Amino acid sequence: MRSLRVLDTHTEGEPTRIVLDDHPDLTGTLAEQRLVMKQWDWVRGVVAEPRGYDAFVGAWLRPAEGDEVAGVIYFDAAGPLGMCGHGTIGVVTALAHLGRWPESGEGHLMTPVGRITAWRHPDGSVEIENIPSRRSLKDVKVTVPGYGEFTGDVAYGGNWFYILHESPVELISGNRRELLRMTSLIRDELHRQGIAGDDGGEIDHVEICVPHADPAIDVRKFVLCPSGADDRSPCGTGTSAHLACLAEDGQIAEGQVFVQESVTGGLFSATVRRTPEGWVPRIRGRAWVTAESTLHFAADDPYVAGLPE
């Protein structure tokens, strides 16, 4: 029987399952380890039903490659991810809970897409500086039967996003099922047309951002994730991609605080600065530890890799 010790957190409502145990087959760079994990069907079972559910993102802690506190490989029920903003906030909170985060509050994590700096503030909130983000395509149009034509940008913030600024379906929690249906159809149409990010990067997230009625909050957001679930948080990599688009269009100044709310009420605040490599975002949010447990994967369990899709 295979067993894994895990620690669960949620970041503004979005869950992260952090794997604490090592594995003998995970060697080499994080990018190489990520490729190994991609071949393991059973890894899906860490976050999928019956041990988890479709909103879970996994974060497998790895030994540090340099002076980082740890390495991290992110994944969900659809497979490995390049980066995860809400997951990083959860990882920092978990490492602090375990007594492994620096007392100064500042530390670094290595991910398959690059090195991340994070700060844990005295109030328990976590701020992360993500990798440089960028827009690849502007004003990309797709038409979805029953919903009409959409115009959005293709941008990268650690994952690839199609970002919209209007929706025929109101962004409220009670409409999440309909929003999931609509954004899934949008993503299907992007794939059907062969629309992709740089070097063929798959657009596996769809993000809708609309102006908020509260003047203290800039936008309300809905984000479709690769697993087919919606992000309960405002989505860290989506925030990064969105800020890059806003900055390119001159709609946000460097250092200007931008506040976003998910349809379930989770809040992130963020800023952005220009670098030669792209727009570097900082995102701040909160996470809480919710559980510590051991997952068991029996050899005769037909659902080791999760329930069928």
The pLDDT assigned to 254 comes to 96
31 against 252, higher pLDDT: 252
Question: Where exactly are the structural domains of the chain?
Answer: 2-125+288-297, 134-285
Is 225 tagged catalytic?
no
- 53-110 pLDDT, tens digit per residue, is 989 999 999 998 899 999 999 999 988 898 999 999 999 999 999 999 999 999 999 9
**Does the pLDDT value for residue 1 go beyond 90?**
no
Compute CA distances 223 → 67, 240, 250, whole Å: 33, 13, 23
Which of 209, 225, 235, 245 is an active site residue? 235
CATH class (in words) of the domain with range 2-125+288-297: alpha beta
Which of 84, 209, 225, 245 is the catalytic position? 84
Q: Compute how many other C-beta atoms are within 10 angstroms of the C-beta atom of residue 182.
A: 22
How many residues would you count in the chain?
A: 309
Domains 2-125+288-297 and 134-285 share a fold: yes
Determine the pLDDT at residue 27: 83
Angstrom distance (rounded) from CA 283 to CA 118 = 9
Does domain 134-285 match CATH 3.10.310.10? yes
Based on the residue annotation, tell me whether 84 is a catalytic residue of this protein: yes
Regarding pTM above 0.85, the answer is: yes
As a whole number, mean pLDDT of residues 146-156 equals 98
- What pLDDT digit, counting tens, does each position of 256-291 carry? 999 999 999 999 999 999 999 999 999 999 999 999
Q: Quote the crossing angle between the two packed helices 85-97 and 236-248, to the nearest 10°.
A: 130
- Measure the CA angle with vertex 159, ends 52 and 7; round to 5°: 30
Strand 148-156, strand 134-144: pairing: antiparallel
